[in-house]
Structure 1
């Protein structure tokens, strides 16, 4: 009975982690930012126009929108509430959040993240192959693949968070924009839903891997009990 429960939990958490992982990889909402110029209470719509950014591991997009009501809130980043005209550029060659200074370190992070996704997907395939024959070796292999993939994904998440918090690029970018565009420019930066999905999927990958590694031990115990 415990073996069936472990198999069910491993399959459920493995499938859930894969969905979250693909959602995090396939959407460009790891980081969201907006910049506004002028007095929010001013009636000058041009002065109060907002520039919105959202970026993921691969792409950074930006667009302008007038500041009125909820348009200045985080709801403006929802896919269903965005204008058709956006400018998107590759983000994986960018060193600084939002500003787009060139550097290859993010390209390395993208490779690590994609490698983690490949390991998790391969682990899922191996686990599916192990289920009909209850192959202990395949379960162990699948568990190692899930754990390795989860560690790689979590490492990218931590590097991204440290990069955003520790780097002075945002401050320098804000000063540059105030000098070139507007003295009263306000820059607001938030983590997006894609970023939140990544650590959740990494945790589920680690949990799935541990459950898969437990299955052979529980199976051996059940065989000994029967004999």
Structure 2
């Protein structure tokens, strides 16, 4: 497998696996090394991961497209082979542990499946790096905003919204009517002088939903102090 595909696969796995809920991670890792692990959680973790991988990658088995169920089975098999020690490290937010896990799953998938990029289908968000984001950073089709979004100007409702998390302003999204740019919703992160940690302060997405989700992703990453990986 080409090195760039291997790197892409590992990035996707990191995105899919690390976004699992803390409850799932705790069930998978246990409350101490080898203690109270709930291995039944592997199946839903594998299904979610397969859904993510199959959305952005072409995955085949012996020349035929692999089903999501088949990919999920392969991911589950790899997860079942994770040691108690490694599984518990994940509950302690060990970056090294997560890298090791992604490598283990990736190596297993590479050994039994053929993996490649999906071709660009012409849509605004399909192409990696199209609007400044890597393919693993794209907003998912079922992703929805979590904050409260309201019209920026109460006296003039329109395609201009401000998002709030509690009392904190996260950012703004708006649409500009320009010929050839009908699908673009622009977004801005609220400027508070805090370090950007590699995250952009502005950009655009294909819809109001995805623009709002982009603002929230960056806002919560900054709140948690998370650096952007693979940007630029």
Q: TM-score, normalised by structure 2?
A: 0.27
More helix by share: 1
TM-score (norm 1): 0.28
